Amino acid sequence: MARATVIICSFNIAIVICVFHNLYSYPYQDSHYVVSYTPDEIRNMEESSRIRVESEPVKLIQMSLKQKLTNELVEVLRVVKAGANTTLQHEAVQHWRKQKLEEAKRLKRGKSSNSTILPEEAGILTRAMESNWAELLDEIGLWIPVSIINNEHNDKPEGEDDFDDKILAGRRLPPECNVELNTDYGGQAVKWGLTHHKESAYECCQACLDHARNAKPNEVKCNIWVYCPEEEGCHSPDKYEHKLQECWLKYAEKPKVNFKDMYSEDYRNRHPNAPMFVPWVSGVVSS
């Protein structure tokens, strides 16, 4: 009987020892256990993480990025004249969207840029502008009504060109002026615009034509006119303050545009006071 008792007690002690061994040995082993992943598995996990981040809703765009976009859109619409119709406003916003999307894609490809967008914001911004443009505008709070087009009877003589007085005040420019809105041509100045003012683009172009017509044989003849039609003046990268009605008469053997339509993002980063759109009106006269 005593022998049986000893055997049973020994068996119970062995079981207890096994239980304690299991309880205290596994955590120790786990703390030294290292999971090893193959390069392919690591790449797959990184790709999954990237896809998850880019699949987040547009509303998860950081507030700082949203504020940047809002400020830029406000500036785009500010430089469009107050009387501009909604079609022009839509065109200005779409032009900005195209530039911003290209900028984000360059950052996404790892190309350096002077952009205000951070590299980590480029992916989600690209997706938002490509696939969720309407939602992005809604979140920013931008709404431009659809234009209502009224068709009017056109009783002008055949071949008569249209001319919008609201876009460019003054008399209709003749064809030989070759007027180009939002354009600034370079060239050698034959009339210094700071002291040469004209009431309208028509008169500025006419001054160029008159200069070329009356120039002496050895004198440089005007073939470019550049006019400032903006009440607040016109931007230029030089040191001068250019005012309304400045009329620059220039000459160039091969006329070349300095700026056209919109100033680039890089240019506006280097010239913080530059507007979105080129304010000058220019033309290369026909000989």
- Residue 238, classed as helix, strand or coil, is coil
Between 14 and 199, name the one with better pLDDT: 199
Is the confidence at residue 27, as pLDDT, over 60?
A: no
Q: What digits encode the pLDDT tens for the residues 225-284?
A: 999 999 999 999 988 999 999 999 999 999 999 999 989 888 988 998 889 899 999 999
Mean pLDDT of all residues belonging to the chain: 76
Average pLDDT value for residue range 204-220: 92
Where are any strands of DSSP class E within 21-86?
A: none
CB atoms within 10 A of CB 285: 21
User: How far is it, in rounded angstroms, from Cα 100 to Cα 80?
Assistant: 18
Q: Which among 226, 219, 239 is positioned nearest to 193, based on CA atoms?
A: 226
Structure token digits, residue 120:
């980590």
User: How far is it, in rounded angstroms, from Cα 231 to Cα 204?
Assistant: 16
User: How far is it, in rounded angstroms, from Cα 285 to Cα 287?
Assistant: 6
Average pLDDT value for residue range 33-43: 67
Is the confidence at residue 101, as pLDDT, over 90?
A: no
CB atoms within 10 A of CB 163: 12
Identify the pLDDT of residue 190. Answer: 92
Identify the pLDDT of residue 130. Answer: 75
Q: What digits encode the pLDDT tens for the residues 144-195?
A: 655 544 455 455 445 444 444 346 777 889 999 999 999 999 999 999 999 9
Average pLDDT value for residue range 15-28: 53
Structure token digits, residue 112:
């350096």
Between 218 and 46, name the one with better pLDDT: 218
The torsion region of residue 260 among left (phi > 0), alpha (psi -120 to 50) and beta comes to beta
Identify the pLDDT of residue 224. Answer: 96
Exposed, middle or buried by CB within 10 Å (0-12, 13-18, 19+), for 174? middle
Instruction: Write down the domain spans for the chain.
Output: 54-140, 175-284
How far CA 241 is from CA of 54, 129, 177, 232, in Å, comes to 46, 37, 26, 10
Return the CATH fold of 175-284: Hepatocyte Growth Factor (3.50.4)
- When pLDDT is cut at 50, 70 and 90, the band that residue 51 belongs to is low
Task: Please state which of the ranges 39-43, 94-98, 153-157, 221-225 shows the lowest mean pLDDT.
Answer: 153-157
**What count of Cα atoms within 13 Å lies in the side-chain half-sphere of residue 115?**
23
CB 185 within 8 A of CB 256: yes
Between 41 and 200, name the one with better pLDDT: 200
Identify the pLDDT of residue 201. Answer: 94
pTM over the 0.85 mark: no
Identify the pLDDT of residue 182. Answer: 92
